[in-house]
Amino acid sequence: MGFTRKDLLGMRDLEVHEIETILDTAQSLKEINTRSIKKVPTLRGKTVVHLFYEPSTRTRTSFDIAAKRLSADTYSIATTTSSMVKGETFLDTIKNLEAMRPDVFIIRHSASGTPHRVAQRTTASVINAGDGMHEHPSQALLDMLTIREHKGRLEGLTVLIVGDIAHSRVARSNIWGLTKMGARVVVCGPPTLMPSHMDQLPVTVSLQLEPVIPSADVIMVLRLQKERQGQGLLPSLREYAAYYGIDRKKLAQAKPDVLIMHPGPMNRGVEISPDVADGPHSVILDQVTNGVAVRMALLYLLVQRDESAL
Amino acid sequence: MILRGGRILDPQRRIDRVGDVVIRDGHIHAVAWDPKDIALSPQTRVIDVSGKWVVPAWVDMHVHLREPGEEYKETIATGTAAAVAGGFGAVACMPNTHPVNDCAAVTEFIRRRAQEQGFCRVYPVAAISKGLKGQELSEFGELREAGAVAVSDDGRPVTNAALMRRALEYARAFDLVVISHAEEESLSRGGHMHEGLVSTRLGLQGIPAAAEAAMIARDVLLAELTGGRLHIAHVSTEASVWILREAKRRGIAVTCETAPHYFTLTDECVEGFDTVFKVNPPLRTRRDVEAIKEGLADGTIDAIATDHAPHSVLEKDTEFQDAANGMIGLESALPLVLGLIREGVGNPLDILAKVTCNPARILGIPMGSLEPGSPAHVTVIDPEAEVVIDPEGFQSKGRNCPFRGWSVRGRAVLTLVDGLVRYPFH
């Protein structure tokens, strides 16, 4: 089936066959990244604009490498160098950039829903590279690719997501993506970091970590923003680490082939202990490698979308 | 002028009967059931309103006219034109203008401007606290004399409970009702929509229903303590209705209003991040909508007001979290209120009371009645008119209408204020 979507805004919108297409495409493009000449002409003459209104090293670099390996021309606009500081609104900036006929906008923004509002008013493709607490679909896709590589499947697996679920777009995107692909998702974190009505999403909620570790095939550890303590959501990082941090002792209860994942950047010693982060179960660097392949696949599929099927 | 053969609905006097309304010298001269009872002179203008409803002109006790200070959003002229086009003969305008309506000079300016340029009656609501800062009471006595009919810090809650207590006490000396924008800010701060399943899905920080209900609970206790007259603005949650029902059962002097969007729309509307659905209090859940309707049905909710809040594209065409709160309502309220009657939430007299005699009574203003001798503020409604709501044709400067494109039934065909035809426009 052809890929006909103009934009990639969230995992919640995607159909199972679309997710499969993206993962399969990423898998086949991954080989390019191991060549000595890591470049193919697929997107030659296409223009990709990165609009990052929130700090990001890993995601932006990953998207930029992906675009360049497909021979697209890329331009980066970050908050400090944009018109934002001159008082122009974000949507005005988009209108102006649109007039220069880009093919793809890759947008990260602290406000949930901003890529969606942009997508409604541009003919270019929009990729959501993370919007507020809403979605981060390319992260979920690279997580799913990594799990599939190591486990051979997604269906039937139990994925435990631990930490600050309330503020996490990574958690939301993974919940939609993984459950569509037939995995069981367990979310775990302190009640103050658990969003309301979580029990109405297709997940199992646990407020305690230790009871849910043994059944997990994958443990996805979320970054804990240190500001959460100042916001009154946590008494201390120390207590958080004691009850919700993944360390060797807690990991001893897990399945022997459990995968440890983290979207980065890590607070070593808070949500994850250094020995676990660098230990034999960790696939954290595989996630980063797969990130480039997934983003190549997204750019390829959106730009080369099957318009005849529209 | 004679309005001939309409269905006369006067909620205050519980009249629902076909007849004629005779208007002379700006007043209701007579209401007659038999045309033979009316002496016709050749000059008398007879308007056939058979098949239509003849009701007291509607009263919107909660609007933002934006003048003085934000005339690019709305003016007294455009806001009152919107009012009469929507069937309203009077509006009470909130004090969060620039400058704030916290002194007699601003109240007088609004009244004078309304007399010169307005299409309907304008009743200013003055600020509870100077500058809406929540620190010192404004001068209620002078404001009352200048024409203010109520006090409110609307747009912001009175966070300091002691100040709210003093406001309720002090207002008694001038027989002013204190209108509370009930919001516990320590719970709502940082929120952009109702806290619930939808906010969780959308990754938008939520405002829990308890932020509203907790403040209502505080305020009804203060009303009981002080004996002051309290009115709760824009009630939106099930718990709020529950607390208000209990307070009334206890005999506390409290009244309240809701707005059409709170009995029509839910937080599901925010899917898609359209900022037209951003409002404070936020759109709630289906369960809250049902509870609001129950509150309207059993009389817990006394009034329906629009909380007409015009904004320009500058405030609305932006990221959801940066967009201003508020919706316009004057030109879409009438068919939605009639919808309550069609749905069986209440009979015509009970529902119409909430937009006529009830708000008039709460504010203590001479509106909301068709009794002979009273000023002729009359709305004629075609209850069956099919209307597609099109904000581009509105009198209001605001286009932030959440009902764009809705097919609805009912419209005002004639709005009289002091016996003068103010709508349709000449």
Task: Mark out chain B residues that contact chain A at CB-CB < 8 A.
Answer: 195-197, 199-206, 208, 272-273, 317-322
Q: Give the one of A12, A111, A197 whose C-beta lies nearest to B320's C-beta.
A: A111
- What is the distance between the alpha carbons of residues B327 and B274, in angstroms, rounded to a whole number? 12
Q: What is the CA radius of gyration of chain A?
A: 19
* Chain B contact for A198 (CB, 8 A cutoff): yes
Q: Is B284 in the same domain as B164?
A: yes
User: How close A9 comes to chain B (CA, Å)?
Assistant: 11
| Residue B320 within a domain | yes
Q: Is B296 in the same domain as B358?
A: yes
- What is the distance between the alpha carbons of residues A166 and A237, in angstroms, rounded to a whole number? 17
């594209």: which residue's tokens? Answer: B313
HEC profile of chain A: CCCCCCCECCHHHCCHHHHHHHHHHHHHHHHHHHCCCCCCCCCCCCEEEEEECCCCCHHHHHHHHHHHHCCCEEEEEEHHHCHHHHCCCHHHHHHHHHCCCCCEEEEEECCCCHHHHHHCCCCCEEEEEEECCCECHHHHHHHHHHHHHHHCCCCCCEEEEECCCCCCHHHHHHHHHHHHCCCEEEEECCHHHCCCCHHHCCCEEECCCHHHCCCCCEEEECCCCCHHHHCCCCCCHHHHHHHHCECHHHHCCCCCCCEEECCCCCCECCCECHHHHCCCCECHHHHHHHHHHHHHHHHHHHHCCCHHHC
CB contacts, 8 Å: B272 with chain A: 116
Residues 6+ apart with CB under 8 A from B131: B100, B102
Q: Give the one of A90, A117, A196 whose C-beta lies nearest to B273's C-beta.
A: A117
Q: Is B418 in the same domain as B323?
A: no
pLDDT at B57 over 60: yes
Percent of chain A past pLDDT 70, that is, above it, reads: 95
Judge: A114–B319 Cβ closer than 8 Å, yes or no: yes
CB contacts, 8 Å: A196 with chain B: 195-197, 199-200, 206, 208
pLDDT at A54 over 70: yes
Residues 6+ apart with CB under 8 A from B261: B279, B283, B327, B329, B402
Q: Is B66 in the same domain as B187?
A: yes
Burial code (b: 16+ CB inside 10 Å, e: under 16) for A83-119 equals ebeeeebbbebbeebbeeebbbbbbbbebbbbbbbbb
The pair of structure tokens assigned to B57 is 């002109």
Query: What's the N-to-C CA distance of chain A in angstroms?
Result: 12
Q: Is B44 in the same domain as B150?
A: no
User: How close B165 comes to chain A (CA, Å)?
Assistant: 30
Mutate to test the interface with A, among B197, B198, B202 (most CBs of A within 10 A): B202
Which residues of B are designated catalytic?
Answer: 307
pLDDT band at residue A86, thresholds of 50, 70 and 90?
low
Q: Give the one of B197, B199, B203 whose C-beta lies nearest to A169's C-beta.
A: B203
More confident residue, B39 or B114: B114
Q: B31: domain range?
A: 2-53+374-423
CA nearest neighbour of B284 among B216, B215, B234? B234
- What is the distance between the alpha carbons of residues B168 and B172, in angstroms, rounded to a whole number? 7
């490698």: which residue's tokens? Answer: A289
- B221-249 residue pLDDT tens: 999 999 999 999 999 999 999 999 999 99
Q: Is B316 in the same domain as B303?
A: yes
Determine the pLDDT at residue A310. 44
Determine the pLDDT at residue B316. 92
- B136-154 residue pLDDT tens: 999 999 999 999 999 999 9
Amino acid identity for residue A310 in this structure = L
Chain A residue at shortest CA distance from B200:
A195
Q: Can you tell me the mean pLDDT for B395-401?
A: 98
Determine the pLDDT at residue B39. 79
Q: State yes or no: ipTM above 0.90.
A: yes
Q: Is B108 in the same domain as B165?
A: yes
pLDDT at B301 over 50: yes
Omega prior to A235 cis, within 30 of 0: no
| Residue B369 within a domain | no
Chain A residue at shortest CA distance from B197:
A197
Q: Is B143 in the same domain as B247?
A: yes
CB B232 within 8 A of CB B244: yes
CB A261 within 8 A of CB A220: yes
Q: Is B308 in the same domain as B400?
A: no
* Chain B contact for A242 (CB, 8 A cutoff): no
Mutate to test the interface with A, among B194, B201, B313 (most CBs of A within 10 A): B201
* Chain B contact for A201 (CB, 8 A cutoff): yes
pLDDT at A78 over 80: no
Determine the pLDDT at residue B140. 98
Percent of chain A past pLDDT 90, that is, above it, reads: 83
CB A135 within 8 A of CB A11: yes
* Chain B contact for A36 (CB, 8 A cutoff): no
| Residue B334 within a domain | yes
In chain B, the number of structural domains is 2
pLDDT band at residue A309, thresholds of 50, 70 and 90?
very low
Determine the pLDDT at residue A307. 56
CA B342 to chain centre: 21
| Residue B368 within a domain | no
- B343-379 residue pLDDT tens: 999 999 999 999 999 999 999 999 999 999 999 999 9
Determine the pLDDT at residue A114. 92
| Residue B325 within a domain | yes
Judge: B319–A200 Cβ closer than 8 Å, yes or no: no
Determine the pLDDT at residue A1. 56
Residues in chain A: 310
User: How close A73 comes to chain B (CA, Å)?
Assistant: 28
pLDDT band at residue A84, thresholds of 50, 70 and 90?
low
């007849």: which residue's tokens? Answer: B19
Judge: A111–B319 Cβ closer than 8 Å, yes or no: yes
Determine the pLDDT at residue A306. 61
DSSP B298-352: TTSS-EE---B----HHHHSS-GGGSPP-B--TTTHHHHHHHHHHHTSS-HHHHH
- What is the distance between the alpha carbons of residues A72 and B409, in angstroms, rounded to a whole number? 54
CA–CA distances in Å: residue B421 to residues A70, A152, A248, B344: 69, 77, 81, 32
Q: Is B246 in the same domain as B179?
A: yes
CA–CA distances in Å: residue A145 to residues A4, A158, A162, A282, B83: 21, 15, 19, 15, 58
Cα angle at A284 between A279 and A286, to 5 degrees? 115
Full-model pTM: 0.94
Determine the pLDDT at residue B38. 82
CB contacts, 8 Å: A87 with chain B: none
CA dihedral B280, B285, B287, B290 (to 10 degrees): 60
The pair of structure tokens assigned to B109 is 């300016």
Average pLDDT, chain A: 93
Judge: B206–A133 Cβ closer than 8 Å, yes or no: no
pLDDT at A63 over 50: yes
Q: Is B30 in the same domain as B64?
A: no
Q: What is the CATH number of the domain that holds B190?
A: 3.20.20.140
Other beta carbons within 10 angstroms of residue A291's beta carbon come to: 27
CA dihedral B231, B237, B239, B242 (to 10 degrees): 50
Longest dimension (CA), chain A: 57
Q: Is B286 in the same domain as B381?
A: no
Last residue of a domain, one of B325, B343, B363: B363
Domains defined for chain A, CATH in brackets: 11-135+290-309 (3.40.50.1370), 137-287 (3.40.50.1370)
Chain B residue at shortest CA distance from A11:
B201
User: How close B325 comes to chain A (CA, Å)?
Assistant: 16
Q: What is the CATH number of the domain that holds B402?
A: 2.30.40.10
| Residue B14 within a domain | yes
